[in-house]
Amino acid sequence: MSKPTDPLISKNYLRLFEGDLDAAIDSLRVAAASQAKRPKQVNSDKPVLVSINHVFKNYKLGRQKVEAVKGVTLDIRQGEFIALTGPSGSGKSTLLQMIGGLDKPSSGQVVVDGQNISKLSDRKLSVFRNKTVGFVFQFFYLQPFLGVKTNLEVPAMFARTKRRARGERAVELAEAVGLSDRIKHLPKELSGGQMQRAAIARALLNKPKLLLADEPTGNLDSTNGRAIIDLFEQVRRDFGTTIVVVTHDDAIAARADRIVSLKDGALVT
Amino acid sequence: MIRLTDAALLAYTKLRARKVRLIVTVVISSLLFGVLALGSFVFRGVVSSTSSFAEEGFGKRYILSAESSSIGRYSEDKTVLERAIALQKDEIARKKIEAKRIGIDYDPTTERLVYQDGGGQSGNERYLDQTHPLALQAINEYLIAHPEPGLPELKKLSAPYGGKNFYESRYIAGFDIGSSKLKVLKDGKESFEENNQQNFNPFSQGLDSFTSSWSLLSGDLLKTFTLDGTVPEISKDGVLPIVAPYSAVEQLLKLKPLPASASASSRLERLKDVRARAGSVEFNVCSRNASSTDLINQALSSKRELEQNKSNKNYEKPSLIYDTPTEPCGAARIIRDVRTNDEKVMSAKWDTFRQLFGQEVPAQTILRFRVVGVAPDPPGFNAAFLDGLIGSILTSYIGVNWYTPLEARKANPALQNLFPDQQINGRANSFYAELPTADSAKKMLDGASCDLNSFSGMPGPVPEGLPPVVDINGQVDDCVKSGKPFYLMPYGSSSLAINDLQKGFSKVFKIAALVVMAIAAIILMGTLGRIIADARRETAVFRAIGAKRLDIAQVYVTYALVISLMIGLCAILTGFGLSQIAQSKWGAQFTVKALVAYNARDLTREFHLYAWSSRDLLYIMLAAIVAGLVSTILPLLRNLRRNPIRDMRDEN
């Protein structure tokens, strides 16, 4: 794991604030507070898979500068099940996207599986998302005109996995998520829970080390929601996959090893 | 890059999006390219069929016809007019003396002048009356002094291009034979009804076209059109061989022309019948000299006068009345002669006087012909569009359409008289050079022909708004000086024209392909752009699960290729289908026309209105593919540049 950059000595740090010294100092204060609130590590015998160091994410909304994530520092160890919680607009989805390499921090660094993904090229980021990470979305995003099995194989297509190998893996995963009898069905022939299970199976196809789920139960009833969380636990147990779930649901959060809460872009627990 | 089969699989899912719009787009684009494909099928079919038929005609011979570029220059030369006036002055003087000597009352003011007024660009100039014998004499003197180029000049001109065979033709035309008349004796009878209406009409068909179209042509060129088993030579009993137009042979065989609606099979049967029996057809033509024609006209005029005065008791009949002959091509008969001796003596003196000054003794003779070949009819003036089109495509013509071998002229004084060495008034003798290849013929055509760059205009002042008259004579002089004394034209077949047409078609085809491609690209851009824009969320999901930008591009390019291939294939099938419809509707008609036009021995040959050109079809496919790709590029680039997070969020 690469050594995190100390923001106090970063030559480029001030540049991020375009010479605004007050803003830079405010940022440092928030970072320091965040450091102080760094949660207690669990599974401390396991290596760190995700290391987030003093990460800021700013963007402009019209003329207004919005700080979506403010100096978050967080380590996630292999095999951990983390729940990212917080009110709407607290920056949890943005943090998740930065961990998954869908977005880049304005400052700070995100290191996943030893790769500083903030510095990866677009092409390498794609490979990273394909091989290291699996995404599960609230709205499933399955291909409507492809059967379940083919849907599961899509990430493997981008990895150029051989047809036979990926087919076997898809069948295996469909069985693991309880969809073996639905393998030839189109997504529209599945229930919401089944679709989400298919989406989880798809996310697992390339055997990622990290599974990122953004409100995976947000579109499901409580029974199906629970079943999905059961599935996450099963996945962690069977495959040793690290899971980070963004959720509003306290019941789901309670099932996690650790709850990481954000408010106004900063960690609060 | 992902595997091609995977890209195709993902592209397939796009095909199911916005199905109706996509189908409409594919249909419209296919129709556009289909028209292009139809053009290719039909054009290539016509060219290939024409080439196939041409193997029996002139198609594989590259012949250029040559006509003197200085033809008719005597009419521009004032010295000819002056010479004619001088000749007439001299003749009038001699006539006065002779009239006085033989004691007749000659009035010079009744003489027809050698010129007329109202010519030239100003409309006030004198011009030569080229039907006047003295004008013709002046012209002949001019032509002897200024001989027009002939075969030796053509041989010399064509030598650098490899000219190998040379031929000649002589035309007959109304003016050339003065007031003498030629008339086909239909059913062996001579009709006098239209005696005064016989005019040069290039659009007349059947037997009526004989007078304006009969010509002499080197026998070698005629072989193409001769019937099997016939010999194109004068027979021992003096019968002249002739190649006659198809419609005339039908008439001679007493066959009614088939109606326009006749089926192709009945036309083919008719063709076989005409071919089988044409060799046995003989017909006669009456040739009268000017004096004989004058007496016939006098007889007809007397008939009308007597008829009009039938009930007029005070009408006094002329002392001398002529009637038309009872036998075909006979001399006019005297049916009343109550002249006094003095009148008869005076009349005889006048006859002697006129004959002394060039008037011929009335004479008429029957020319006997035997059909030795059948030539296609030229498209008539009022020909239907399709007939005209077919006629112009299936051209294996030899100028006009009644031909006697030129070699027959040597042994026949009547032919020598009708086809004199010096031709006057527009229709000069033509000469022909046969070149070894299409290329050499094209080179000679481009390099050795006198090409004038504008029409000389009509006589009289130039009407307002029209371009000024170009100095054509100056251009002709330049041609002669630069060693180009002939106008050259492809002759006998459309092979050179087809070569040019093919090159031209290829150019036009490429331009049309570009235009269609641009239109199709715009249409496709509307639909594909929409479909790609619709797929923003899907692209974002693909990006999230590890697709590289190139992978996404590959999926959409595959998608565009699939659409393009569909359009290309549909277009080719549409074009082929339409060409088949054209074939079933007009193919048989073209076949019969072609069989006649090329005098095809093999009557099983067919004319096809379709043929594959893999190059054209490749162009169509390429154009469709380029249209598809071009229409995809912009929306795809827009799509790839988008932020996947925003797209996923926006779509929720």
**Chain segment B39-66, per-residue pLDDT in tens:** 889 888 888 887 787 776 676 778 898 9
Whether residue A158 has pLDDT greater than 90: yes
Give me the amino acid identity at B489.
M
- Across the interface, do B546 and A126 touch by the CB < 8 Å criterion? yes
Average pLDDT of the residues in A130-141: 90
Least confident of A20-34, A200-214, B157-171: A20-34
Residue B25 pLDDT exceeds 50: yes
State residue B457's pLDDT score.
45
pLDDT single digits (tens) B180-196: 578 888 888 888 765 44
A31 pLDDT exceeds 60? no
Considering CB atoms only, which of A127, A137, A158 is closest to B2? A158
Instruction: Between B212 and B12, name the one with better pLDDT.
Output: B12
Q: Tell me the average pLDDT across A239-246.
A: 93
Render pLDDT for B201-247 as a digit per residue (tens, 0 to 9).
Answer: 555 678 888 877 888 888 888 887 788 877 778 777 889 999 998 88
Give the per-residue SS3 of B527-589: HHHHHHHHCHHHHHHHHHCCCCHHHHHHHHHHHHHHHHHHHHHHHHHHHHHHHHHHHHHHHHH
* DSSP notation for B120-182: TTTS-EEEE-TTSHHHHHHHHHHHHHSPPP-HHHHHHHHGGGT--EEEEEEE--TGGGTT-EE
Output phi, psi for B71, to 5 deg. Answer: -60, 135
According to DSSP, the residues that pair with A263 across neighbouring strands are A266
Q: What mean pLDDT do residues B464-474 have?
A: 59
Record: contact A155-B545, CB cut-off 8 A = yes
The helix or strand, by DSSP H or E, that contains position A131, with its residue range, turns out to be helix A122-131
Q: Which residue has the tokens 């003794």?
A: B361
> Is the CB of residue A213 less than 8 Å from the CB of residue A241?
no
pLDDT at B402: 87
- pLDDT for the residue numbered B567: 92
**pLDDT at position B96 over 90:** yes
User: Which of left, alpha, beta for B524 (phi over 0: left; psi -120 to 50: alpha)?
Assistant: alpha
Contact assessment for residue A55 and residue A98, using Cβ atoms and an 8 Å cutoff: yes
C-beta of residue B567 within 8 angstroms of C-beta of residue B368: no
What residues 118-147 of chain A have any CB closer than 8 A to a CB of chain B?
A: 122-123, 126-127, 129-131, 134-135, 137-139, 141, 143-146
Task: Compute the nearest-CA separation of B49 from chain A (Å).
Answer: 50
SS3 content of chain A, % helix, strand, coil (to 5): 40, 25, 35
Contact A157 B6 (CB under 8 A): yes
Contact check, Cβ <8 Å, A102/B543: yes
Q: Which whole number is the average pLDDT over A219-243?
A: 88
**Confidence grade of residue B456 (pLDDT, cut at 50, 70, 90):** very low
Separation in Å, CA of B566 to nearest CA in chain A: 20
Task: Tell me the pLDDT tens digit for each residue of A90-100.
Answer: 999 999 999 99
Task: With beta carbons under 8 A apart, name residues in chain A contacting B6.
Answer: 157
| The pLDDT of residue B395 | 54
A49 or B171, which is more confident? A49
- pLDDT of residue A171 exceeding 90, the answer is yes
Chain A positions touching B547 (Cβ under 8 A) are 126, 130, 158
Q: Which residues of B touch A209 (CB under 8 A)?
A: none
Q: In this complex, do A129 and B644 lie within 8 Å of one another by their Cβ atoms? A: no
Parallel, antiparallel, or unpaired for β B364-375 and B240-245? parallel
Rounded Cα distance between A255 and A249, Å, is 10
User: Residue B549: which of A102, A122, A143 has the nearest Cβ?
Assistant: A122
**pLDDT score for A35:** 42
Q: Which residue in the set A102, A126, A143 is minimally distant from B13, CB to CB?
A: A143
* A103, A127, A154: residue with CB nearest B645: A103
Mean model confidence pLDDT for chain B:
82
Residue with more model confidence, B32 or A9: B32
**Contact between chains at A158 and B551 (C-beta distance less than 8 A):** yes
Asked if the ipTM is above 0.90, the reply is no
Specify the 3-state DSSP secondary structure of B47. Answer: helix
User: Which one is predicted more confidently, B71 or B652?
Assistant: B71
Shortest distance between the Cα of B545 and any Cα of chain A, in A, equals 5
With beta carbons under 8 A apart, name residues in chain B contacting A134: 545
- Which residues sit opposite A64 in a β-bridge? A61
Checking if the pLDDT of B473 tops 60, the result is yes
Which of B79, B84, B106, B85 lies closest to B95, judged by CA?
B106
Closest residue on chain A to B538 (Cα): A141
Confidence of residue B452 (pLDDT cuts 50, 70, 90): low
Residue-level pLDDT at A36: 42
Name the region of B563 (left: φ>0; alpha: ψ -120 to 50; beta: rest): alpha
Smallest CA–CA distance from B6 into chain A, residue: A157
High-pLDDT (> 90) share of chain B, %: 26
- Grade residue A217 by pLDDT with cuts at 50, 70 and 90: confident
Whether A126 sits inside 8 A of B538 (CB atoms) is no
**What would the two tokens of residue A1 be?**
């794991």
Size of interface A-B (CB pairs under 8 A): 72
Looking at per-residue pLDDT, the higher value among B503 and B49 belongs to B49
Query: Can you give the pLDDT at residue B84?
Result: 93
Q: Among B5, B9, B547, select the one facing A126 at the smallest CB separation.
A: B547
Interchain pair A157, B543: CB under 8 A = no
Of A97, A154, A160, the CB nearest to B545: A154
pLDDT above 90 covers a percentage of chain A that reads 53
CA distance A134 to chain B (A): 7
Q: What does the pLDDT look like over A36-79, one tens digit per residue? A: 444 434 556 788 999 999 999 998 877 888 889 999 999 999 99
Contact A130 B12 (CB under 8 A): no
Residues of chain A positioned with their CB less than 8 A from the CB of B538: 141, 143
Which site among B10, B16, B545 would you substitute to test the A interface, given the most A Cβ atoms closer than 10 Å to its Cβ?
B545
From A170-184, B7-21, B544-558, the region with the lowest mean pLDDT: B7-21
Q: Which of B9, B546, B644 sits opposite A130 (nearest CB)?
A: B546
| Rounded Cα distance, B591 and A114, in Å | 81
pLDDT number for residue B331: 93
Cβ–Cβ below 8 Å for A135 and B542: no
CB atoms B542 and A154 under 8 Å: yes
Query: What percent of chain B has pLDDT above 70?
Result: 85
> What is the average pLDDT score of chain A?
83
Q: How far apart are CA B255 and CA B288, in angstroms?
A: 29
With an 8 Å Cβ cutoff, are A100 and B544 in contact? yes
pLDDT at A221: 86
A186 vs B: CB within 8 A:
no
A203: contact with B, CB 8 A cutoff: yes
Q: Is the pLDDT of residue B425 over 70?
A: no
Least confident of B2-16, B51-65, B360-374: B51-65
What does the pLDDT read at residue A8? 38
Q: Which residues of B are less than 8 Å from A139 in CB distance?
A: 652
Characterize the bridge pairing of strands A242-246 and A210-214: parallel
pLDDT at A16 over 50: no
Tell me the C-alpha distance between B15 and B22, whole Å: 8
Residue of A nearest to B541 (CA): A141
**What pLDDT sits at residue B191?**
82
**H or E segment at B476?**
helix B472-481
Minimum-distance CB partner of B546 among A103, A143, A159? A159
Give the pLDDT of residue A150: 94
| Number of neighbours of residue B91 by Cβ within 10 angstroms | 18
Question: Could you report the per-residue pLDDT of B542-574, keeping only the tens digit for each?
Answer: 999 999 999 999 999 999 899 999 999 999 999
The answer on pLDDT for B504 being more than 60 is: yes
Q: What is the DSSP letter of A246?
A: E
The Cα angle at residue A225 between residues A220 and A229, in degrees rounded to 5: 145
Query: Predicted confidence band at B389 (pLDDT cuts at 50, 70, 90)?
Result: low
Interface test with B, best of A157, A202, A211, A246 (most B CBs within 10 A): A157
Nearest beta carbon to residue A126 from set B3, B538, B548: B548
Strand partners, B214: B402
| Of A57-66, A97-106, A187-196, B622-631, minimum mean pLDDT range | A57-66
Distance from CA of A252 to the nearest CA of B (A): 22
Name the token pair of B522: 């715009």
The answer to whether residue B298 scores a pLDDT higher than 80 is yes
- Pick the residue of A145, A206, A212 with the most B CBs within 10 A to test the interface with B by mutation: A145
User: What does the alpha-carbon distance between residue B206 and residue B428 come to, in Å, rounded to a whole number?
Assistant: 24
pLDDT at res. B127: 84
pLDDT, greater one: B598 or A118: A118
User: Where are any strands of DSSP class E within B175-232?
Assistant: 181-184, 214-217
Cα-Cα-Cα-Cα dihedral sign, residues B645, B649, B650, B652: positive
Name chain B contacts of A157, Cβ cutoff 8 Å.
2-3, 6, 9-10
What does the pLDDT read at residue B386? 56
User: From chain B, which residues contact A within 8 Å (Cβ)?
Assistant: 2-3, 5-6, 9-10, 12-13, 16, 537-538, 541-549, 551, 644-645, 648, 652
* Distance in angstroms (rounded) separating the CA atoms of residues B504 and B498: 9
